[in-house]
């Protein structure tokens, strides 16, 4: 019963996303399974037990990143138990976090992205009666044009697109509403898509912006599959093919083209600038190119001024 109340706390008071709630629940369950204790007993939340759990996780092949996520979940669990008067202190705070390698976000080149949209436009024009081709292209277009998260895309409704002001209103993490501007040419494509959507699915009671082949609202795995299929075989796309990499790509391309970090932060819906600053690393090649082009000693073999 304790764990069920904790889950409700995460959902109602903390307003965590369903995915985060699931990950936290799995982490707490895994901790007590390691202790071979079926019940979520507060007395077992000790610094030594948490240390042992982290060591076990690392020894059995879990990454430092995964175990740090579990520590965050267990710390939240301990803080909740503390509020209930079932613990005297948070034992997780005394457990050092495993050091994890900093991973730079992957991104696609602008050339690769343009290749995809040119190719998908050709397929749509050659098959005007195949609504799925149009929908799949629009899924990737909206993901890349706005930097939306998968969950935000799945929850998008027709009314969230304001054609007059040329923007999307998006409900992000923590129920934070943000507005994302959309280029005029893409707005035109969106209006044509919405017209075709109404023809293909006249029965759309929730007025969802995207629907599955069966006319149901999108779900996360569906979006993953569409992105993976659409980008497979297109020149320039190697490695992981996912909605999140499209989001990273937009941020990197905006930064390369001179957008400031604060603006990119607002577009992506980051809660802090620190989350956005990681994209500055990805722009090193662009920085290097600009530097070598502009540097007075980089021309004519470095003989300038001699």
Who has greater pLDDT, 258 or 87? 87
Give 282-300 pLDDT, tens digit per residue.
555 555 555 666 666 655 5
Who has greater pLDDT, 11 or 301? 11
In 3D space, the residue among 72, 73, 54 whose CA is nearest the CA of residue 64 turns out to be 54
Q: Average pLDDT of the chain?
A: 88
CA angle 190, 193, 196 (to 5 degrees): 155
The pLDDT of 9-32, averaged and rounded, is: 92
The predicted structure's pLDDT at residue 296? 64
pTM for this model (two decimals): 0.66
Residue 271's pLDDT band, with cuts at 50, 70 and 90, is confident
The predicted structure's pLDDT at residue 252? 86
Bridge partners of residue 157, in order along the sequence: 208
Residue 220's pLDDT band, with cuts at 50, 70 and 90, is very high
How far is C-alpha 57 from the chain's CA centre?
25
Cα–Cα distance for residue pair 105/279, rounded to 1 Å: 7
DSSP-assigned states of every residue in 165-211? TTEEEEE-GGG-EEEEE--HHHHHHHHHHHHHHHHH-S--TT-BS-B
Cα–Cα distance for residue pair 59/72, rounded to 1 Å: 19
In 3D space, the residue among 71, 72, 76, 77 whose CA is nearest the CA of residue 58 turns out to be 71
Active-site residues: which are they?
149, 173, 244, 247, 270, 279
Chain region(s) in the chain for CATH 1.10.443.10: 110-289
pLDDT at 208 > cutoff 90: yes
The predicted structure's pLDDT at residue 147? 92
Residues 6+ apart with CB under 8 A from 304: 296, 297
First to last CA, the chain: 80
pLDDT at 180 > cutoff 80: yes
Chain region(s) in the chain for CATH 1.10.150.130: 2-94
Who has greater pLDDT, 42 or 100? 42
Q: Indicate the length of the chain as a whole number.
A: 306
In 3D space, the residue among 13, 19, 270 whose CA is nearest the CA of residue 151 turns out to be 19
DSSP 96: P
Q: What is the CATH number of domain 110-289?
A: 1.10.443.10
Number of neighbouring beta carbons within 10 Å of residue 262: 10
Residue 304's pLDDT band, with cuts at 50, 70 and 90, is very low
DSSP 301: G
In whole angstroms, how far apart are CA 280 and each of 117, 134, 293?
A: 26, 34, 19
Pick the CATH number of 2-94 from 3.10.310.70, 1.10.150.130, 3.30.1440.10, 3.40.50.2300: 1.10.150.130
Cα–Cα distance for residue pair 274/261, rounded to 1 Å: 10
């Amino acid at each position: 019963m304790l764990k069920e109340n904790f889950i409700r706390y995460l959902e109602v008071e903390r307003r965590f996303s369903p995915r985060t709630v699931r990950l936290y629940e799995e982490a707490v369950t895994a901790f007590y399974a390691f202790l071979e204790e079926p019940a979520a007993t507060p007395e077992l939340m000790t610094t030594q037990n948490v240390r042992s759990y982290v060591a076990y996780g690392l020894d059995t092949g879990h990454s430092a990143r995964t175990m740090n996520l579990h520590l965050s979940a267990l710390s939240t669990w301990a803080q909740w138990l503390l509020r209930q008067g079932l613990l005297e202190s948070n034992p997780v705070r005394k457990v050092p976090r495993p050091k994890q390698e900093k991973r730079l976000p992957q991104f696609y080149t602008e050339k690769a992205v343009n290749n995809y949209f040119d190719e998908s436009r050709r397929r749509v024009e050659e098959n005007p009666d195949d609504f799925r081709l149009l929908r799949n292209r629009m899924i990737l277009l909206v993901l890349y044009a706005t930097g939306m998260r998968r969950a935000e895309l799945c929850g998008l409704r027709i009314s969230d697109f304001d054609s007059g002001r040329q923007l999307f209103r998006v409900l992000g993490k923590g129920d934070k509403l943000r507005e994302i501007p959309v280029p005029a040419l893409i707005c035109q494509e969106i209006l044509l898509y919405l017209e075709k959507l109404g023809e293909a699915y006249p029965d759309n009671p929730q007025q969802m912006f995207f629907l599955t082949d069966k006319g149901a609202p999108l779900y996360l795995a569906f979006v993953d599959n569409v992105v993976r299929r659409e980008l497979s075989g297109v020149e320039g796309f190697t490695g992981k093919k996912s909605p999140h990499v499209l989001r990273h790509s937009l941020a990197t391309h905006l930064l390369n083209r001179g957008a400031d970090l604060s603006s990119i932060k607002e577009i992506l819906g980051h809660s802090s600038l620190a989350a956005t600053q990681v994209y500055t690393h990805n722009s090193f090649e662009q920085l290097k190119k600009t530097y070598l082009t502009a540097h007075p000693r980089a021309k004519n073999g470095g003989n300038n001024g001699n």
